A and B are shown apart, each in its own frame.
Chain A
Amino acid sequence: MTLEAFCDDLNEFSWFITLDHRLKAAEFRRIGRRGLNPPAVDELIVYDRPDVILLNAGRPVATIEKTREVPTGHNVGQRVARLVRSVELGIPTLKFFPFDARKHGRYTNICNLNARLLQAFENMWRIHNTPMIAVNWASDSHGELIEDGSADVELQTLLAGYIKSGFNSNCSEFKSARQRQLAEYSQRCETYEAYGNPPPSLKIGKTIEMLRELGIPRTSQQAGKLLLRDESVVYEIGMSEEKCRREDPYTGTQFIYDYLYCRNGPKPDNKFRNLILHFPNIRKEIWNSRNPNDLARKSSNWYLTANAHVYGDGWALLR
């Protein structure tokens, strides 16, 4: 076993190698700009950079993301694009984050995970046949995250089993985690039924009706491509023109909705419904100048999976 851990930050590397005694032998490698890393790492960071990429004998064997943020409300998609890339490449992916924790400030309260994320992870796992696991960073009775390292136990168990199995993505620890993930989703939907349904920012309906609502003439050749699918999902993104030069959390959220309501195969074209991103407050010209489909820029993430963009004054067919 020859382990290397590619990280942005020595601090995260220092944490990561405490998770299993065999990881202590891992060499620290700093993730460089694209083109400066081994090809396998460059391939993995095409959408964005995960926190830890573990390589064994030069081959990526795990991607780990760690965050203190509860993925709640519309922030649920934060960091998701980079994780999707990992499972697209068949690399087991673990996201360590709090399912429930206190938000601080004047309006302090406990924030709960948007449980749709768990179902999206399951769908990603099924479609790519690659583990995509949410691991809870537990909090105390006051909602503060546990900081003494004891919250790492589940992650430690998963990594120990995976390493011991010779990096077998069908290891029993991952299988158990999948069952827990599904059970967690069901339980959270029982508590809050809305998570079993699409969020208010989504509309699902007949493509022909959606096109009419969006003002797209159905007679054009391009619209004809959308009409090949009977149904469409329209994700409305209310950004203003002043604040449209951004990706997070929307480009991650598009993947969550894609895998929940559209996808049936590993390629973006493998959909049973169209995914349409709707920007009602942004003109097409402004959009194209601020968010070009330039592979050297993160704005290209806007073009990764949707079938079409619809702007305030026009639209574009993407695939």
Chain B
Amino acid sequence: MGATSVREDEIYILTKNWFVRREFKVLGGQPPRGTDRHPVIEIKSRTHNEKGSRSSFKPDLVVAAPRNLLLVECKPEFNGDDVDKLLEISQSAPRRQSLVEEIRQRRSLERHNHSLAQLSNELISRRIRCCISYSGTHHPVEIIYSLVFENRDSDGQLFLGDSLVTSFT
């Protein structure tokens, strides 16, 4: 089973389960097709005020760790476009603010009794981290976390750059 490539819906499930097993809270999720029980969280662009989803970014997963929020993009293989997309979001104060407002409006943290809910929007905004998740071999990326599954049967490993992260909070 392990030799065949991992599909997009499989990597989504592997990734979500990896975080759930570590008791992180899934605040939002958008599977490649279909519907999850989690809401789709939309990060709007403040330069586009028109109605609709144009220029908005919908992370595959939004996960609350004890001290940080994680935006996750899942792909069967390493994808440089996902890195660019996440960097654009993480380096844009208005985008981060938009994400926090969306989470506040949905009461996502409050509904999970999560301690981050007690923080100000500004503080939450500073605790947004990004992660790409994929299967195959590790491609080190600075600033952004990488969750790598060797195959569909393996447990994933989390990296920041070259370094294996054994404890992420």
Contacts and interface: CB of A to CB of B under 8 A. Distances in A.
Interface stretch (B29-37, B64-72, B121-129, B137-145): B29-37
A11 B9 contact: yes
Contacts of B12: 11
Contacts of B7: 10
B40 interface: yes
Contact of B31 (A9, A102, A108): A9
B38 A12 contact: no
A66 interface: yes
Contact of A145 (B39, B42, B102): B39
Interface in A101-115: 102, 104-105, 108
A11 B13 CA distance: 7
B35 A67 contact: yes
Contacts of A15: 36-37
B106 A104 contact: yes
Contacts of A200: none
Give the contact-size bracket for chain B.
20 to 34
B143 to A, nearest CB: 29
Interface in B12-52: 12-13, 31-40, 42, 44
B111 interface: yes
A269 interface: no
B34 A12 contact: yes
Contacts of A149: 37
B9 A51 contact: no
Contact of A66 (B34, B44, B107): B34
B38 A147 contact: yes
B35 A66 contact: yes
Contact of B34 (A7, A105, A142, A144): A7
B34 A11 contact: yes
Given A144-B107, A147-B37, A104 B102 contact: yes
A64 to B, nearest CB: 11
A14 interface: yes
A14 to B, nearest CB: 7
A8 B39 CA distance: 19
B9 to A, nearest CB: 4
B166 interface: no
Nearest to A31: B33
Interface in A131-146: 140, 142, 144-145
Contacts of A10: 7, 9-10, 13
A297 interface: no
B105 interface: yes
Nearest to B26: A147
Contact of B105 (A8, A12, A66, A104): A104
Interface of B: 7, 9-10, 12-13, 31-40, 42, 44, 102, 105-107, 111
28 contacts: A9-B33, A9-B34, A10-B7, A10-B9, A10-B13, A11-B9, A11-B12, A11-B31, A11-B34, A11-B36, A12-B34, A15-B36, A66-B34, A66-B35, A67-B35, A68-B39, A68-B40, A102-B106, A104-B105, A104-B106, A140-B111, A142-B107, A144-B106, A144-B107, A145-B37, A145-B39, A147-B39, A149-B37
The 8 closest A-B pairs by CB, nearest first: A9-B34, A11-B31, A12-B34, A9-B33, A10-B9, A147-B37, A8-B33, A9-B9
Interface of A: 7-12, 14-15, 51, 66-68, 102, 104-105, 108, 140, 142, 144-145, 147, 149
